[in-house]
Amino acid sequence: MAVAISASQRKFERVNEIIQKHNGKKSALIAILQEIQEEYRYLPEEILTYVATAMDLSPATVFGVATFYAQFSLEPKGKYIIKVCDGTACHVRGSGPLYKSIRKKVGLQDGKFTTEDMNFTVETVSCLGACGLAPVVTINEKVYGQMTPEGIEIIIEKLMGKEDNQ
Amino acid sequence: MVQKINSQQILTDAKNSAIERLEHDSIRVLICAGTGCVAGGSLEVAAAIQTATAGDMKTQVSFIEDGCEGIAVKTSGCHGFCAMGPLVRIEPLGLLYCKVTVEDVPEIVEKTIKKGETIERLAYRHPSTDEIYPVEHEIPFYKNQTRIGLMNCGIIDPEDLGEYLAHDGYQALAKVLGMNSQEVVDQIKAAGLRGRGGGGFSTGQKWQFALNEDREQKYVICNGDEGDPGAFMDRSIMEGDPHKVIEGLMIAGYATGANAGYLYVRAEYPLAVKRLRKAIKDAEEAGLLGENILGTDFSFKALIKEGAGAFVCGEETALMASIEGERGMPKPKPPFPAQKGLWGCPTTINNVETLANVPNIILKGVEWFRSLGTDKSPGTKTFAITGDVANTGLIEVPMGLTLREILFDIGGGIRNNKEFKAVQIGGPSGGCLTPEHLDMPLDFDSLAKVGAMIGSGGLVVMDNETCIVEVARFFMEFTQNESCGKCVLCREGTKRMLEILQRIVDGEGEMKDIDNLLDIAYAVKDGSLCGLGKTAPNPVLTTLKYFYDEYVAHIQDKKCPAGICEALKGYSINADKCKGCSKCARVCPVGAITGEIKKPYKLDQDKCIKCGACVSACPFNAVEVG
């Protein structure tokens, strides 16, 4: 466990920097958690407890905020985060079947959102505001409009190929 | 070092020199860099045009008589015609090219930029008349619009303060600084501006409440938490004309006596955040934000707060809780934000589009504003038309236009010539309108009468292949997910309604479910604190009102008339179309299809597992689903 401890110590250093940048202000809690998540790709439980102690807040307050907003994830996410927009416009243009076919393509079983190899996380998002291009899928920050199950499969296959070659 | 714009005279000078700079560019190429077009590759197109026109291009331009002084290739905010993106606009020719790819760039440079020729294949072609419209303002989609809030979107480079100044930027601010706060409030009141975020409350009245409070510290907030799925006008304004939003916010600040303002932008809009940050930085550097603006006593600080993904934060009190770093849960009103808002201080919250209207009202006057729209709903409204409509995109029209004019004249009708079934207006809190409402004027009051609301202005069009019960279930799933959980009726009621709707689309509904739905719907409406809960049952109530038969079909006949609900899909073979080739019978994994060669085959519903293999196998489209 020695390695893990030193790794988490490093983690806390970066967390301290982020908290200090915002002067530890309670009103900046959301921004602080956003930056931490950007750094670690999710909000590890021990970091949330640490943030609470460092900012003199109760862990319940920090967990409360972290679990309230959809943007925060308490579980690690994959290298490629595939978001299927399920806003109304996308929904009526077939985001449901699209979501199913993506899950099938990356091999996700019931209840899971991230693949075993940590390459893909598949989730739905309420509305990306690109409704003119419905249905929309984003992979990390790249937006793909007017997607079809066939089209997205080709894109995912390319990403899978890239991972296999590494 | 940027010159500080610290007096009205310098602002006028800055405007004139910005105009001069723009006029210097005989040719302006504007590539749409809204989220939609960027997804279609518009940034690559912009880079290609920039590369191709770099160097000594002006000597090669032949169509401008006095020779060309300069060519500007700029990325702009959303042009609105998202269905046709990536869009490229070429001035002074007024041309709009649609679906432009990098491969088209050499031809655009050679023919249009150098010689002023139109490339017909890139121009908009009307899908039914086949007519070609190369000039933007002649395209039916644009022709029937009146753009005020979106005036600069697609026209200016949103990251260039100078371009905003050239288009009367910050002139309205300069004008109000010569008035007192009450005069500004009176003008907005007289104009009859109503909140564009959904409620339709009088903006002037809202400002008056805050102005009346005798407190040292007050705040103004721009609500950019555009959470309604199917609406993206606020995103487009923030991305396409960020300075206008800031100017509107500053005027609100001056009118209500606030010296600080927050722009609360949802996390899903990274580009809007980026553009607003740049705009604030540029305005600060130019001295248009900060201390003693334009040499007056007025000081103002603008800050951005990024949301973190919660629909309920569009509600005023929840939004303020979120800015304070808490869970975004609504609080009871009163006290109203105007009395006790952010950190207990009087606070005014206005929607993005509302604020974007303010500078124009100040500059052009009350009469002008009231000449647009209807008596009780003056001005224009932006709508995001999406779903099963030919021309998806962002439009702005005078209030009071009919749904028919919007969907058919501007929207180009239903996609693939299908039948119009319904349109969901105002997001999950709104309601649905049906063919019987096509000739109803769209304004705040007419919509309220039929149980719908303008909301933020999302219009999601649905054709006859959309299952309305499934759509109601979809909205309920959304509001159930987004319910913050504070009010028991909203938290539990939406959950139970969702369960019932799920049962119905799964083919397990009973007739008493409809009564239960209605009972719970009214209870949730009455027993919730904020707008989310109060309006969550709207989609169920309006669909039950207009599409009762469809619910009954799901429950009693176990059929989905639109053929969408998986559990209710029934496959059958159309005997007239079937040629008896046996392909379907051979692919059926459960032997549900039987028959003799060259005679119509039959499908046994009891054996059928609804896998759809027969549908794909049939060369004659004889297998029907529904």
DSSP 3-state assignment of B372? Answer: coil
Asked if B387 is an interface residue toward chain A (Cβ–Cβ < 8 A), one would say yes
Nearest to B86 by CA among B48, B126, B59: B48
More confident residue, B364 or B626: B364
B88-91 and B95-97 strand pairing: antiparallel
**Separation CA A31–CA A52 (nearest Å):** 14
Indicate yes or no: CB of A34 within 8 angstroms of CB of B306.
yes
Nearest to B231 by CA among B194, B189, B196: B196
What is residue A142's predicted lDDT score, i.e. its pLDDT? Answer: 85
- All residues of chain A having their beta carbon less than 8 Å from the beta carbon of residue B327 are 64-65, 68
In a 13 Å sphere around the CA of A127, the CA atoms on its Cβ side amount to 31
pLDDT in tens, B292-309: 999 999 999 999 999 998
What is residue B237's predicted lDDT score, i.e. its pLDDT? Answer: 95
Tokens 């949802």 sit at which residue? B266
Mind telling me how many Å the CA of A161 is from chain B's nearest CA?
23
Q: Please state, rounded to an integer, the average pLDDT across all residues of chain B.
A: 92
B480-499 residues touching A, CB cutoff 8 A: 481-482, 484
Interface residues from chain A to B (CB-CB < 8 Å): 25-31, 33-34, 61, 64-65, 68-72, 86-93, 125-134, 136, 141-145
Q: B1 pLDDT exceeds 50?
A: no
Whether residue B324 contacts residue B343, with contact meaning beta carbons closer than 8 Å, is answered with yes
Nearest-10 Cα torsion for B381, B386, B388, B391: 80
**Separation CA B234–CA B236 (nearest Å):** 5
- All residues of chain A having their beta carbon less than 8 Å from the beta carbon of residue B427 are 88
pLDDT in tens, B412-450: 999 888 899 999 998 888 888 999 999 999 999 998 888
Q: B373 pLDDT exceeds 60?
A: yes
Phi and psi, residue B595, nearest 5°: 160, 180
CATH of domain B468-555: 1.20.1440.230
Indicate yes or no: CB of A68 within 8 angstroms of CB of B386.
no
Over the Cα atoms of chain B, what is R_g? 27
Low-confidence ranges of chain A (pLDDT < 50): 1-3
Highest mean pLDDT, choosing among B44-53, B356-365, B550-559, B563-572: B356-365
- Report the 10 Å Cβ neighbour count for B229: 29
Tokens 């894109």 sit at which residue? A155
| Domain-wise residue ranges, chain B | 20-143, 161-370, 380-463, 468-555, 570-625
Q: Which two tokens stand for residue B43?
A: 């940034």
Nearest to A97 by CA among A86, A108, A109: A86
What is residue A2's predicted lDDT score, i.e. its pLDDT? Answer: 45
What is residue A63's predicted lDDT score, i.e. its pLDDT? Answer: 96
Indicate yes or no: CB of A131 within 8 angstroms of CB of B386.
yes
Q: Does domain B20-143 have CATH number 3.40.30.10?
A: yes
Indicate yes or no: CB of A136 within 8 angstroms of CB of B387.
no
- Lowest pLDDT segment from B167-181, B346-360, B460-474: B460-474
Sign, CA dihedral B245-B251-B252-B253, equals positive
pLDDT in tens, B162-220: 999 999 999 999 999 999 999 999 999 999 999 998 778 999 999 999 999 999 999 99
pLDDT band at B270 (very low <50, low <70, confident <90, very high): confident
- All residues of chain B having their beta carbon less than 8 Å from the beta carbon of residue A126 are 227, 229, 268, 309, 311, 478, 481-482
- All residues of chain B having their beta carbon less than 8 Å from the beta carbon of residue A68 are 310, 327-329, 484
DSSP per residue, A132-148 = GG-S-EEETTEEE-S--
Choose, out of B236, B238, B264, B327, the residue to mutate when testing the contact with A (most A CBs < 10 Å): B327
Whether residue B265 contacts residue B306, with contact meaning beta carbons closer than 8 Å, is answered with yes
What is residue A128's predicted lDDT score, i.e. its pLDDT? Answer: 79
- Architecture in CATH for domain B161-370: 3-Layer(aba) Sandwich (3.40)
Phi and psi, residue A113, nearest 5°: -120, -15
Indicate yes or no: CB of B39 within 8 angstroms of CB of A145.
yes
Choose, out of B221, B386, B465, B467, the residue to mutate when testing the contact with A (most A CBs < 10 Å): B386
Contacts of B297 (CB under 8 A, 6+ apart): none
- Lowest pLDDT segment from B29-38, B237-246, B287-296, B520-529: B29-38
What is residue B156's predicted lDDT score, i.e. its pLDDT? Answer: 93
Contacts of A162 (CB under 8 A, 6+ apart): none
**Separation CA A74–CA A63 (nearest Å):** 9
Choose, out of B268, B327, B415, the residue to mutate when testing the contact with A (most A CBs < 10 Å): B268
Indicate yes or no: CB of B83 within 8 angstroms of CB of A132.
yes
**Tell me, what DSSP letter sits at residue B373?**
B
Whether residue B249 contacts residue B351, with contact meaning beta carbons closer than 8 Å, is answered with no
Could you give the angle at which helices B242-256 and B233-240 cross, rounded to 10 degrees? 100
Q: Does domain B570-625 have CATH number 3.30.70.20?
A: yes
DSSP 3-state assignment of B16? Answer: helix
Mind telling me how many Å the CA of A6 is from chain B's nearest CA?
31
Indicate yes or no: CB of A92 within 8 angstroms of CB of B394.
no
Q: Which of A31, A64, A143 sits opposite B38 (nearest CB)?
A: A143
B234's enclosing H/E stretch is helix B233-240
Q: Which residue of A lies nearest to B395 if distances are taken between CA atoms?
A: A132
DSSP per residue, B108-169 = IIIIIIHH----GGGSEE-TTT--EE-BGGGSHHHHT---STTTTTTTS-TT-HHHHHHTTT
Contacts of A148 (CB under 8 A, 6+ apart): A98
DSSP 3-state assignment of B68? Answer: coil
Length of chain B: 626
DSSP 3-state assignment of A38? Answer: helix
DSSP 3-state assignment of A110? Answer: coil
Beta bridge partners of B262: B221, B303
Asked if B389 is an interface residue toward chain A (Cβ–Cβ < 8 A), one would say no
**Tell me, what DSSP letter sits at residue B94?**
T
Tokens 């799933």 sit at which residue? B477
Nearest to B458 by CA among B435, B442, B441, B439: B442
**Separation CA B419–CA B435 (nearest Å):** 10
In a 13 Å sphere around the CA of B418, the CA atoms on its Cβ side amount to 16
B302's enclosing H/E stretch is strand B301-306
DSSP per residue, B194-208 = B-TTTT--BHHHHHH
- All residues of chain B having their beta carbon less than 8 Å from the beta carbon of residue A136 are 39
**Separation CA B135–CA B93 (nearest Å):** 8
pTM, 2 dp: 0.89
Q: Which of B35, B325, B478 sits opposite A30 (nearest CB)?
A: B325
**Separation CA B296–CA B94 (nearest Å):** 40
pLDDT band at B475 (very low <50, low <70, confident <90, very high): very high
**Separation CA B218–CA B210 (nearest Å):** 8
B27-32 and B71-76 strand pairing: parallel
What is residue A1's predicted lDDT score, i.e. its pLDDT? Answer: 43
Contacts of B89 (CB under 8 A, 6+ apart): B29, B30, B31, B32, B76, B79, B95, B96, B97, B136, B154
Mind telling me how many Å the CA of B306 is from chain A's nearest CA?
7
Tokens 């496959």 sit at which residue? B571
Q: Which of A31, A126, A141 sits opposite B229 (nearest CB)?
A: A126
Q: Alpha helix locations (H) across B25-109?
A: 35-39, 42-53, 105-107
What is residue B119's predicted lDDT score, i.e. its pLDDT? Answer: 95
- One CATH from 3.30.530.20, 3.40.50.720, 3.40.1500.10, 3.40.30.10 for A80-165: 3.40.30.10
Nearest to B554 by CA among B497, B625, B501: B501
**Domain B20-143 matches domain B380-463 at the CATH topology level:** no
pLDDT band at B481 (very low <50, low <70, confident <90, very high): very high
DSSP 3-state assignment of A121? Answer: strand
Sign, CA dihedral B58-B64-B67-B72, equals negative
List, edge to edge, every strand of the sheet that includes A137-139: A120-125, A80-85, A137-139, A142-144
CATH of domain A2-68: 1.10.10
CATH of domain B380-463: 3.10.20.600
- Lowest pLDDT segment from A136-145, B154-163, B238-247: A136-145
Beta bridge partners of B55: none
| Domain-wise residue ranges, chain A | 2-68, 80-165
b/e map B97-134, b = 16+ CB within 10 Å:
bbbbeeebbeebbeebbbebebbeebbbeeeeeeeebb
Mind telling me how many Å the CA of B121 is from chain A's nearest CA?
21
pLDDT in tens, B107-150: 999 999 988 899 999 999 988 788 999 999 999 999 989 999 89
**Separation CA A54–CA B351 (nearest Å):** 36
Sign, CA dihedral A114-A120-A124-A125, equals positive
In a 13 Å sphere around the CA of A140, the CA atoms on its Cβ side amount to 9
Q: Which two tokens stand for residue B279?
A: 């705009």
DSSP 3-state assignment of A96? Answer: helix
**Separation CA B367–CA B191 (nearest Å):** 7
Q: Which residue of A lies nearest to B83 if distances are taken between CA atoms?
A: A132
User: B357 vs A68, B220, B353, B361, CA distance in Å?
Assistant: 33, 16, 6, 6
